[in-house]
Amino acid sequence: MRLKSLFQIDIDAGIEVYKMAKNGILLDVRTNQEYAQGHIPESINIDLASLDQVLEKIPDKKTPVFVYCRSGARSSRAVRQMKKAGYFDVTNIGGIENYHGKLEK
């Protein structure tokens, strides 16, 4: 049996690591409607259902990507899909519902 490891950290800690990462991307995989209601500053939105667009928006598979959603479930699936597509510096930072910073609308 082959085990796959998925790296996940707390969303507030994940934002701090993102800010220190050179050329990192903060990826929100919630729906466009959820994103419009409030999102973490500097994040880009690619709905989990449209994750194939990630190749267009993030062509370099070495780019550090920090993925979040509402609760952490969709971001976990997104990380698995991205790793399967060849991205190797992808971190699940969980759900925005646990984020303590300010949101943009």
Residues classed as catalytic? 69
- The number of angstroms, rounded, from the C-alpha of 1 to the middle of its chain's C-alpha atoms is 28
Torsion-angle region of residue 61: left (phi > 0), alpha (psi -120 to 50) or beta? alpha
- β strands within 17-82, DSSP E: 25-28, 44-45, 65-69
